[in-house]
Each structure stands twice: as structure tokens, then as C-alpha cells.
Amino acid sequence: MESRAPVEKVIIAEAIRATEAGAIAAARLMGRGDRDGADQAAVTAMRKAMDDADISGTIVIGEGERDSAPMLYIGEQVGNPDAATSIDIAVDPLEGTNLVATGSTNATAVLAASEPGGLMHAPDTYLEKLIVGPMVAGHVSINDPVAQTLGTIAERLGRGVYDITVVILDRPRHEQLIADVRAAGA
């Protein structure tokens, strides 16, 4: 009798392969001052990894429209159109093009997947995101005050707020959030 991995495990494995491919391709241009080249390398590598995957994917959210960067296009089909698993994909092959171009750390490749229709198509829109690990998931809300959220995270992890690492893009639109995180002690 043939055994198959659950759909979620297949999707997770393919997402890891795709983001890893994008990150490695961009890293080859680390510190060379070529943000567009790094972005294009990440896009090309991620597209190839997804095209090699046994999924039928549709890009529903892509990064690049806002700044005319290289991108996986909204509506673009990736993977195997005859695959048993169909998914919608939100993707940013290289978040932090300037970081890579200048040789700095903390750039990332991002991919989220859902069942078809499960991701809101929101072109050219900034969204607030709160990402936590499994011990905290379901115990915090993006709508809670920052200090409360950090307190809950610390409590769930058995740590002090001062031991929590928070990652926020250093952008003018995040100035208040950064101030709130610092005021809370993280």
C-alpha cells in the first residue's frame, strides 16, 4: 500500500525549497551594490524551484508592483498544472534588496501558501503582520497593544520581555511601533 505525506507537509517542503533557492541565489550578490540583480536572481531561482514542485500554484500576491522590481506576477501559474495539490501563493523572493546590495544581514525570502481563495489579493498594500512560533500561536492578536503582546509572548516562552527579540523593518511607517516595542522593554 502506497503511503503519501499529508498535503501540508508537501507544501511546507516545497516552500522551504523555493525560499532557500531564492535566498541562496540572492546571497551570491551580497555586498555587490546590485539590488536589482539580487532581486532578479532570487525571483528566477524561486520561480524555477516552484516550477519543479509537484504543486499547481497561482501567485496571488507578489512584491514588485509598487517599485517596478523583478517579480513573480500576480496570476502567474507555477508548478505542475496537473498536480493533485492546488494552492494560492503570496511571495516576496527578496525582502531586503538594499540589505543584500550593501552586504548587511537580515534579508529574507518570503512565501505563504493557502488553499485556492484563501489569500486576500491586496496589490500595492502594506499589511501589518505578527509572526510567532508554535508555543505562542493562538495566544496573541495583532490587535492587542504591543506591551500586552510582548508580555504574553514572554510568559508563554518562560522569559522576560527583555529577552524577546523583535524584528521590524526600519521604516518611517514603523517609528511608533518601534518606540512601543522599546518602551515595553524588548
Q: Each residue's pLDDT tens digit in the chain (186 positions)?
A: 444 456 788 899 999 999 999 999 999 999 999 999 999 999 999 999 999 999 999 999 886 565 566 788 889 999 999 999 999 999 999 999 999 999 999 999 999 999 999 887 766 667 788 988 889 999 999 999 999 999 999 999 999 999 999 999 888 999 999 999 999 999
Identify the domain boundary among 81, 114, 147: 114
- Indicate whether 110 and 146 sit together in one domain: no
φ/ψ of 99, rounded to 5, equals: -60, -45
Range of the domain at 31: 7-114
pTM of the model: 0.69
Largest CA distance in the chain: 58
Check if the beta carbon of residue 64 is closer than 8 Å to that of residue 47: no
Q: Which of 114, 140, 155 represents a domain boundary (last residue)?
A: 114
Domain assignment present for 121 = no
